[in-house]
């Protein structure tokens, strides 16, 4: 009987060994227990710990901090290109106006006095559709004229406005009877058949006709003006003096204040001279130029 019991125990132990349960490798062994503990720990560690989540959030915040300035600059570059496109369209409209009017340039949109051939009818109560260059620009339906209450012109007013220009911010013109200038671009006031051309003291400096412009590829016709000096469509690039500054909306990093007194003033030092803005020249080209280049006599005196 004892012999039979020994055989039975031996057979059972062998079966357990065959299944891997009666050895150190089986369920009852140390290795089996370690495996079960590992599985349980894996189950418990299936989610992120608080520290790990904080690390991930910190990395994401760091990447956003690195990328946002780059994305902002890319967006501003896009707006700068849209601004150049606007100026190119306006420059083309000027040249077509001249071709249709025996070489005469339109008036500069000074505001006072008003002329029927002002390039832009921005003043209160005037319809932009009647601007001198309007027939040579693309039309859009249902756009509200910002210069006349209740008037709905066909003209696409977006072409007169830089995408980066905050139209609500104007230092000058708030108390003017003609209204506030809600557009971005102005004409070189030495180029036009309006006020300066009709004033005897300044007529000899002013190009009333296109063929009076010397070296047209070097002479500025239109430009985006800075919001600190914008007040009408008649831009004074003269420096030093009562300067209407070239706008530098697309080159704004590190910019210092342009304002001298209230609404600009007589500049004796050109602020932000290395900063750049967009301008159209008499040959129809549009360039991104520095204020130092733009505000020198050789760029804005068309007859010299």
Average pLDDT over residues 36-45: 56
Lowest mean pLDDT among 42-46, 225-229, 285-289: 42-46
Average pLDDT over residues 96-118: 94
Dist CA 231 CA 181 (whole Å):
5
Lowest mean pLDDT among 115-129, 146-160, 162-176: 146-160
Q: Is the pLDDT of residue 38 over 90?
A: no
pLDDT at residue 147 in the model: 44
Q: Is the bond leading into 88 cis (omega within 30 degrees of zero)?
A: no
Average pLDDT over residues 264-289: 90
Average pLDDT over residues 161-184: 83
Please give the model's pTM, rounded to 2 decimal places. 0.74
163: Cβ contacts below 8 Å, ≥ 6 apart: 79, 82, 83
pLDDT at residue 52 in the model: 83
Encoded tokens for 212: 């009076």
pLDDT at residue 63 in the model: 84
Dist CA 98 CA 25 (whole Å):
98
Which of the pair, 178 or 127, is modelled with greater confidence? 127
Alpha carbons within 13 A on the beta-carbon side of 16: 15
Lowest mean pLDDT among 109-118, 133-142, 181-190, 236-245: 133-142
Q: Is the pLDDT of residue 253 over 90?
A: no
pLDDT at residue 140 in the model: 64
Average pLDDT over residues 173-201: 87
pLDDT at residue 24 in the model: 43
Q: Is the pLDDT of residue 88 over 50?
A: yes
Dist CA 294 CA 243 (whole Å):
12
> How does residue 94 score in pLDDT terms, banded at 50, 70 and 90?
very high
pLDDT at residue 40 in the model: 57
Average pLDDT over residues 298-302: 93
Tell me whether residue 57 is exposed, middle or buried, using C-beta atoms within 10 angstroms of its C-beta: 0 to 12, 13 to 18, 19 or more. exposed
Pairing between β-strand 241-242 and β-strand 276-281 as defined by DSSP bridges: unpaired
How large a percentage of the chain has pLDDT more than 90?
A: 49
Dist CA 183 CA 230 (whole Å):
9
Per domain, the residue ranges of the chain are: 62-300
pLDDT at residue 12 in the model: 43
Q: Model confidence over 196-252: pLDDT tens digits?
A: 999 999 999 999 999 999 999 999 999 999 988 898 999 999 998 889 999 999 997
Q: Is the pLDDT of residue 71 over 80?
A: no
pLDDT at residue 22 in the model: 45
Q: Model confidence over 3-17: pLDDT tens digits?
A: 554 444 444 444 444
């Amino acid at each position: 009987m004892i012999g039979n019991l020994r055989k039975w125990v031996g057979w059972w132990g062998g079966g357990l060994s065959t299944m891997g349960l009666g050895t150190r490798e089986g369920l009852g062994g140390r290795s089996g227990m370690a495996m079960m503990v590992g599985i349980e720990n894996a189950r418990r560690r299936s989610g992120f710990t608080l520290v790990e989540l904080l690390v991930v959030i910190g990395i994401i915040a760091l990447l956003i901090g690195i990328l946002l300035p780059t994305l902002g600059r890319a967006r501003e570059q896009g707006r700068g290109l849209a601004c150049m496109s606007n100026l190119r369209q306006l420059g083309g409209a000027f040249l077509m106006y001249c071709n249709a009017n025996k070489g005469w340039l339109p008036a500069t949109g000074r505001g006072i006095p008003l002329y029927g051939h002002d390039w832009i009818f921005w003043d209160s109560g005037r319809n932009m559709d009647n601007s001198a260059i309007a027939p040579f620009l693309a039309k859009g339906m249902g756009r509200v004229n910002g210069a006349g209450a209740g008037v709905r012109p066909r003209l696409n007013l977006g072409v007169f406005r830089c995408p980066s220009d905050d139209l609500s911010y104007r230092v000058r013109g708030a108390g003017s009877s003609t209204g506030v200038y809600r557009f971005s671009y102005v004409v070189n006031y030495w180029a036009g058949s309006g006020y300066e051309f009709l004033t005897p003291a300044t007529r000899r400096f002013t190009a009333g006709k296109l063929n009076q412009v010397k070296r047209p590829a070097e002479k500025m016709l239109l430009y985006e003006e800075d919001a600190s000096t914008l007040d009408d469509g008649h831009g004074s690039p003269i420096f030093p003096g009562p300067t209407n500054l070239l706008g530098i909306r697309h080159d704004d990093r590190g910019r210092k204040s342009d304002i001298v007194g209230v609404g600009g003033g007589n500049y004796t030092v050109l602020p932000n001279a290395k900063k750049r803005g967009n301008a159209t020249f008499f040959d129809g080209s549009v360039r991104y130029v520095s204020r130092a280049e733009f505000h020198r006599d050789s760029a804005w005196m068309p007859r010299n």
